[in-house]
């Protein structure tokens, strides 16, 4: 191999070896070399540039390494400082814990009875707060529980002013509960509107507005008109109390503070009780009314007849406007016959008077007998409904059975209520009828006896 070839081969190898590490040389010598000397020169220049670049990089790496070492030293120094600070803070924490325990012991020792007093005050304040919220007096004096509520929730020893407020509030509540007061307060009407109305409060028990009972709701702290007022006797007493300006009046007072009043307004009225009897109850009432009307008509008619018969007894001639007069007219028409035939004629005249005297009595008697039987029918019907409700819904909710039980009891009551007066009226009417018949028989016997003597 010639020397030229060797040089060319070495140059190519050098160029290939430097191609990876020195791309800039090839970038600068993108044009092909014209000779080996030019190629060698370019390779030398590339090596020189690469060496300079590598030295620069080494210097930058060494500088960066020194900076990283400095940062590492600073971080280690900071860790050491923080560890020393942590140890110091831990020591301070332990000292503070010991000091705090000592101070708490000293505080507990110095508080002594004050700690117990604080607990008692908070308890009394809590009880007072609940009492004020439930008291009807708060409708007259609203906002009293705010200061008491703060005292009940306080975590510090109460101040003298707070203790005085608690004492004054208790004294004020006791004083207000002992009087009858008239004042203006917001009242929620039945339709949901709120208005300012005059209210009369009877201690902590009962409140009236315009003669109507009102209830105090602690949730809203408002007086509310009752959806339904109690019976007339209590409403009348409430109106008297509301209208009185002085003196002594009879008042309705609920000692349970609303519980009894709530039960009273739930008591069904007469109409509601009748409605509970259902169809059977209305039938019983209809029969009762018809029976009473019929009995009154018959009693009035029989009383009139008895009065006419009594007047006829004082007369010697018969009058056709009464049964005795018609019997006497029968005698007057048959004076010439014998005693036996006369007796038969008079008996026949009396028998003819009986239908008019006993008219309607059997109907009254039947109505009196049917009424309790209808009541029994309603009882059976109501119990059937009750057992059906038990079958469908069980016995967990008594209200589901209340309808059937109410019908059973109400119809029984209505049946007895109808039967008792009808029986009494039938007895009266029957007695009047029998009294007239006895007079007719008595007078008939007297007429026959007189005719026998004259014969």
Q: Which among 216-220, 359-363, 443-447 has the top mean pLDDT?
A: 359-363
DSSP H or E stretch at residue 321: none
Q: Hey, what are 55's tokens?
A: 């030295």
Residue 298 is assigned to a structural domain of this protein = yes
In a shared domain, residues 322 and 417: yes
For residue 424, what pLDDT is reported?
Answer: 94
Q: How far apart are CA 433 and CA 439, in angstroms?
A: 10
Whole-number Cα distances in Å, 428 to 291, 295, 307, 451: 13, 9, 16, 35
For residue 397, what pLDDT is reported?
Answer: 59
In a shared domain, residues 363 and 428: yes
Q: Higher confidence at residue 90 or residue 205? A: 90
Residues 71-99 have a mean pLDDT of 91
Portion of the chain with pLDDT greater than 70, in percent? 87
For residue 26, what pLDDT is reported?
Answer: 38
Residue whose structure tokens are 């703060």: 150
- How confident is the model over 359-384, as pLDDT tens digits? 889 999 999 999 889 888 888 887 87
For residue 428, what pLDDT is reported?
Answer: 93
Query: pLDDT at residue 403 above 70?
Result: no
In a shared domain, residues 187 and 172: no
In a shared domain, residues 60 and 151: no
Confidence of residue 2 (pLDDT cuts 50, 70, 90): very low
Nearest to 408 by CA among 265, 273, 264: 273
Residues 173-199 have a mean pLDDT of 84
Q: How far apart are CA 68 and CA 54, in angstroms?
A: 21
Q: How far apart are CA 447 and CA 455, in angstroms?
A: 12
User: What is the separation, in whole angstroms, between the first and last Cα of the chain?
Assistant: 206
Final residue of a structural domain among 64, 82, 100: 82
In a shared domain, residues 311 and 438: yes
Query: pLDDT at residue 405 above 90?
Result: no
For residue 363, what pLDDT is reported?
Answer: 92
For residue 243, what pLDDT is reported?
Answer: 74
3-class secondary-structure state, position 58: helix
Q: Hey, what are 435's tokens?
A: 């009294």
- How confident is the model over 223-244, as pLDDT tens digits? 888 777 777 677 777 777 777 7
Query: pLDDT at residue 205 above 80?
Result: yes
Whole-number Cα distances in Å, 59 to 52, 64, 65: 11, 9, 10
In a shared domain, residues 213 and 250: yes
Are 389 and 291 in contact by the 8 Å Cβ rule? The answer is no
Q: For residue 128, what are the contacts with CB-CB under 8 A and spacing of at least 6?
A: 145, 148, 152, 166, 169, 170, 173
Residue 10 is assigned to a structural domain of this protein = yes
Residue 91 is assigned to a structural domain of this protein = no
Range of the domain at 254: 180-266
3-class secondary-structure state, position 189: coil
Portion of the chain with pLDDT greater than 90, in percent? 14
In a shared domain, residues 204 and 231: yes
Query: pLDDT at residue 3 above 60?
Result: no
Q: For residue 10, what are the contacts with CB-CB under 8 A and spacing of at least 6?
A: none
In a shared domain, residues 406 and 280: yes
For residue 299, what pLDDT is reported?
Answer: 92
In a shared domain, residues 323 and 431: yes
- How confident is the model over 409-434, as pLDDT tens digits? 888 888 898 999 999 999 999 999 99
Among 34-43, 123-132, 258-267, 367-376, the range scoring the smallest mean pLDDT is: 258-267
Residues 288-313 have a mean pLDDT of 91
Residue 95 is assigned to a structural domain of this protein = no
Residues 181-208 have a mean pLDDT of 84
Residue 392 is assigned to a structural domain of this protein = yes
Mean pLDDT, all residues of the chain: 80
Residues 332-340 have a mean pLDDT of 82
**Does the predicted TM-score (pTM) go above 0.75?**
no
Final residue of a structural domain among 160, 177, 194: 177
For residue 27, what pLDDT is reported?
Answer: 42
Residues 85-108 have a mean pLDDT of 88
Burial of 52 (0-12, 13-18, 19+ CB in 10 A): exposed
Nearest to 276 by CA among 90, 424, 105, 403: 403
Final residue of a structural domain among 234, 266, 298: 266
In a shared domain, residues 318 and 399: yes
Q: How far apart are CA 94 and CA 83, in angstroms?
A: 16
The pairs formed by 211-218 with CB atoms below 8 angstroms and a separation of 24 or more are: 211/235, 211/238, 211/239, 211/242, 211/243, 212/238, 213/238, 213/252, 213/261, 214/187, 215/258, 215/261, 215/262, 216/136, 216/138, 216/139, 216/258, 218/133, 218/134
In a shared domain, residues 154 and 294: no
Are 450 and 353 in contact by the 8 Å Cβ rule? The answer is no
Q: How far apart are CA 352 and CA 178, in angstroms?
A: 78
Residue 96 is assigned to a structural domain of this protein = no
Residue 271 is assigned to a structural domain of this protein = no
Confidence of residue 170 (pLDDT cuts 50, 70, 90): confident
Burial of 76 (0-12, 13-18, 19+ CB in 10 A): exposed
- How confident is the model over 106-159, as pLDDT tens digits? 777 766 666 677 778 888 888 888 888 888 888 888 888 888 888 888 777 778
Are 125 and 157 in contact by the 8 Å Cβ rule? The answer is no
For residue 293, what pLDDT is reported?
Answer: 95
In a shared domain, residues 334 and 444: yes
Residue 173 is assigned to a structural domain of this protein = yes
3-class secondary-structure state, position 12: helix
Q: How many domains does the chain have?
A: 4
Q: For residue 239, what are the contacts with CB-CB under 8 A and spacing of at least 6?
A: 211
Q: How far apart are CA 213 and CA 299, in angstroms?
A: 46
Residues 189-206 have a mean pLDDT of 83
């Amino acid at each position: 191999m010639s020397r030229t070839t060797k040089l060319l081969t070495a140059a190519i190898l050098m160029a290939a070896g430097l191609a990876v590490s020195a791309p800039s040389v090839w970038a600068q010598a993108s044009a092909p070399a014209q000779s080996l000397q030019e190629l060698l020169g370019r390779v030398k220049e590339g090596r020189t540039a690469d060496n300079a670049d590598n030295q620069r990089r080494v210097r930058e790496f060494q500088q960066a390494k020194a900076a990283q070492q400095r940062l590492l030293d600073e971080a280690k120094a900071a860790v050491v400082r923080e560890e020393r600070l942590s140890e110091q803070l831990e020591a301070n924490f332990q000292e503070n814990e010991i000091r705090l325990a000592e101070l708490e012991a000293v505080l507990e020792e110095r508080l002594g009875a004050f700690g117990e007093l604080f607990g008692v005050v908070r308890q009394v304040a809590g009880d007072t707060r609940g009492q004020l919220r439930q008291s009807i007096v708060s409708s007259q004096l609203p906002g009293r529980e705010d200061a008491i509520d703060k005292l009940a929730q306080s975590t510090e020893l109460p101040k003298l002013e707070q203790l005085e407020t608690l004492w004054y509030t208790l004294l004020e509540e006791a004083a207000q509960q002992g009087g009858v007061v008239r004042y203006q307060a917001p009242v929620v009407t039945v339709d949901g509107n709120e208005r300012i109305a005059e209210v009369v409060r009877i201690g902590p028990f009962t409140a009236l507005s315009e003669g109507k009972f009102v209830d105090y709701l602690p949730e809203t702290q408002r007086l509310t008109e009752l959806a339904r007022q109690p019976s007339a006797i209590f409403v009348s007493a409430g109106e008297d109390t509301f209208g009185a300006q002085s003196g002594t009046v009879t008042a309705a007072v609920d000692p349970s503070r609303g519980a009894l009043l709530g039960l009273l307004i739930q008591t069904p009225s007469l109409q509601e009780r009748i409605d509970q009897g259902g169809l059977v109850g209305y039938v019983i009432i209809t029969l009762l009314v018809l029976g009473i009307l019929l009995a009154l008509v018959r009693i009035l008619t029989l009383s009139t007849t008895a009065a006419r018969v009594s007047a006829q007894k004082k007369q010697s001639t018969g009058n056709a406007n009464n049964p005795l007069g018609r019997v006497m007219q029968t005698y007057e028409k048959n004076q010439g016959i014998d005693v036996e035939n006369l007796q038969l004629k008079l008996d026949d005249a009396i028998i003819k008077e009986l239908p008019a005297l006993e008219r309607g009595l059997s109907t009254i008697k039947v109505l009196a007998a049917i009424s309790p039987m209808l009541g029994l029918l309603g009882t059976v019907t109501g119990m059937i409904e009750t057992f059906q409700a038990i079958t469908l819904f069980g016995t967990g909710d008594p209200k589901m059975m209340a309808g059937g039980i109410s019908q059973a009891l109400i119809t029984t009551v209505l049946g007895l209520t109808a039967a008792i007066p009808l029986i009494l009226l039938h007895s009266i009417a029957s007695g009047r009828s029998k009294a007239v018949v006895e007079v007719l028989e008595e007078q008939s016997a007297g007429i026959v006896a007189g005719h026998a003597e004259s014969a």
